[in-house]
Homo-oligomer: A and B are copies of this chain.
Amino acid sequence: MPATVVAKGASTSEESTQARPGRTWCRHHYKTSSSYSPRFAFHAMNTNPHFVPTPASIPPSDVVYRLGYDPQLGPANHHPLNPVAFLLRAAQIYPDKLAIAHPNVPRPVHYSYATWAQRIQNLAYALIRAGIKPGDRVAVIAPNSPMIAEAHHGILAARAIITPVNTRLKPLEVAYILEHSGASLLLIDHEYTQLVEGTKVPMIVSHDTGGVDDPYEEFLSLGRQFSSEKGWEGLDAERDEDAGAVLCYTSGTTGRPKGVLTTYRGSYLGAVANAYEARITKDSTYLWVLPMFHAAGWTFPWANVFAFATQITLRTVNYSHIWQHLLHSNVTHYCGAPTVQIGIVNEPGAKQPPQPVTAIIAGAAPTPHVIGELEKIGINPVHVYGLTCTYGPFTRNYDQPFWKSLSLQDRSKLIARQGHAFATADEVRVVHQPQEGKDPNVLVDVPRDGKTIGEIVTRGNIVMKEYFRDPEATRVAFQGGYFRSGDLAVMYPDGTVAIMDRSKDIIISGGENASSLAIEQELATHPHVLEVSVVARQHHKWGERPMAFVTLHPQHQSRWAGKHPEFATDLKRHARERLPGFACPEWVKVVPELPKTSTGKILKTDLRKIAAKL
């Protein structure tokens, strides 16, 4: 593990260990709520024996709702939309309610909204103290845990851009993202420091303990000191609602990761929509199964706070822990890809939770099997669809009353459709793909026949701002005045969208998007490979896994004659050194030649057919 590099301008950790006197806990009027709702399994009271007091969780100052809106600089009737405002309302209205619990770790922590808002305020001040300026990128590499949840609010409160990094990437990919994003600071969980060995980006390491000796906690404490108790009023709120808020790198449709930049406005509207659509309220408990680094957790880090809900974070997708909380922690909502849903229903001990539970499913369409198994144990599946470029969900499958009379099989077919535009998502169309000789800016809708395949395009406030530092990719993505999803779909007569081919290239493996192009690029670096093409193949556990079709370089054909399985092993080893696990090919097939069009393009559709028959 590299030594903790303290951000520029930050003092040494020795200074921060000097405990500063806490302010008097003067909010006596909240005492009456110490008997807070017995429906919650966790309580955020300081009297809880499992509660570990930390420098950062010293009692919050009186929560002041004001987020530094300067009356002299903006009109009183037009506030920039800013999801950080949700946190201040929650801390004001339900200060003692449990905001977040992190239970399945050696040193569990849980914070009330008042304490959590204070921690987030401390984080914002700590970032500013460390030299972070508005618009700077702050990268986060962490599993689901308080730090990454706090980062979604605190980095925005400092007017910087959060850049969550997929923890499953390889060091080279992470290095590319840190370099391309120009991150000024890195918040990193101790388990992932090997991903950034040798980086020059200053970093703060969290040991995920909440303890006084944790460098992340020291960082927060320094922020608190730096604040001089100016509180939220001392922080300038972002005045431009179209400013960048989140920069998520996707391995979407091309080889190099692209940075999807989203805005404060979109994050606010997406979060409100997700809270509304999922019916999350102050009585809800949201379980973090979806990694928060995936498209900023589909805006749920803010949606849950808008709703005053409780969040529970799990570092890993551990089905035993998930069931512990479904059965005993009053969990009402979670998000996850179908693969995860399969894991949940297949876990021994799965049974109907005592409270209603809604499972928000995306990443791929749920199968009748998954829907049936979820419903059997009283979990309500809600199918949504979206991309990193659309803040997560931008369509939802809306159930119709007549579905009640259908068989599970028939109903599942309808649930599997991606549905209609989401609340606040504005417009979704399916248009003919650009054809040679036609103007690519003229979009023509496919007929609503459930048969004609076209591309899903969308407009509206929950469409990304741009591909960061990539004007050409941005131009192409918005050609025709719509965001081109790259996903191929049909439209049914009732206006529902149904994806036919997720896109020509993407392989959805365990909920991760693997770009076949990126995999091909790495496999092609094997000295014996002549040509390679990678397609998705069904996998019983991961939904899909990559399958590589390879032709050997003539020079090396004789060497591997009769030893194709050995070559496959060698190529897989080669891949593992270069690619995240989800992108490594599960199968390698050596073929004499690849099927191609007359113009030389590889016919992936043919390869998919071959893969499907194997």
Interface residues, chain A, with chain B CB atoms under 8 Å away: 27-30, 32-33, 35-37, 63, 65-66, 69, 71-72, 75-79, 81, 85, 89, 92-95, 242, 263, 265-266, 272, 275-276, 279, 281-282, 306, 398, 400-402, 405, 420-421, 423-424, 426-429, 443, 458-461, 463-465, 478, 480-483, 492-495
Contact = CB atoms under 8 A, between A and B. Distances in A.
A69 B427 contact: yes
Contact of A28 (B27, B37, B275, B493): B493
A77 B461 contact: yes
A464 B76 CA distance: 9
A94 B398 CA distance: 9
B478 A76 contact: yes
Contacts of A275: 276
Q: Which of A76, A89, A426 has the most CB of B within 10 A?
A: A76
Contacts of A465: 77
Given A66-B427, A72-B481, A481-B72, A77 B463 contact: yes
Q: Which 5 A-B pairs have the closest CB atoms?
A: A71-B481, A77-B463, A29-B493, A37-B401, A76-B459
Contacts of A480: 71
Given A66-B427, A77-B266, A89-B420, 12 more contacts: A27-B493, A29-B494, A30-B494, A32-B400, A65-B428, A76-B460, A77-B463, A79-B461, A81-B461, A92-B420, A272-B272, A272-B423
Contacts of A89: 420-421, 423
A63 B495 contact: yes
Give chain A's interface secondary structure class. loop
A400 B33 contact: yes
A429 B32 CA distance: 24
A367 B65 CA distance: 29
Nearest to A420: B93
10 contacts: A32-B400, A33-B400, A33-B402, A66-B427, A76-B458, A76-B482, A77-B483, A79-B461, A81-B461, A279-B279
A35 B400 CA distance: 11
A135 to B, nearest CB: 18
B65 A421 contact: yes
B426 A85 contact: yes
A340 to B, nearest CB: 26
Contacts of A76: 458-460, 463, 478, 481-483
Contacts of A460: 76-77, 79
A35 to B, nearest CB: 6
Contacts of A65: 421, 427-428, 495
A82 to B, nearest CB: 9
Nearest to A72: B481
Contacts of A33: 400-402
A72 B481 CA distance: 6
A66 B483 CA distance: 15
A60 to B, nearest CB: 13
Contacts of A30: 494
Contacts of A494: 27, 29-30, 95
A402 B36 contact: yes
Nearest to A389: B77
A412 to B, nearest CB: 16
A426 B463 CA distance: 24
A405 B35 contact: yes
A511 B458 CA distance: 44
Name, among A28, A95, A463, A464, the residue most crowded by chain B CB atoms within 10 Å (CB to CB).
A463
Given A65-B427, A89-B420, A79 B493 contact: no
A216 B596 CA distance: 64
Contact of A78 (B69, B242, B495): B242
A35 B242 contact: no
Nearest to A81: B461
A85 B281 CA distance: 25
Contact of A69 (B35, B93, B428, B459): B459
Contacts of A37: 401
A210 B461 CA distance: 37
A95 B272 CA distance: 24
A415 to B, nearest CB: 15
Contacts of A482: 71, 76
Contacts of A272: 272, 276, 423-424
Contacts of A36: 401-402
A76 B272 CA distance: 20
A71 B484 CA distance: 13
A484 to B, nearest CB: 9
Contacts of A276: 272, 275-276
Contacts of A79: 426, 459-461
A92 B491 CA distance: 13
Contacts of A443: 71
A449 to B, nearest CB: 11
A421 B67 CA distance: 14
A382 B282 CA distance: 15
A76 to B, nearest CB: 4
Contacts of A72: 481
A401 B66 contact: no
A242 B79 CA distance: 12
A263 B32 CA distance: 41
A447 to B, nearest CB: 11
Nearest to A442: B71
Nearest to A66: B427
A424 B429 CA distance: 29
Given A427-B69, A495-B93, A402 B35 contact: yes
Contacts of A71: 443, 459, 480-482
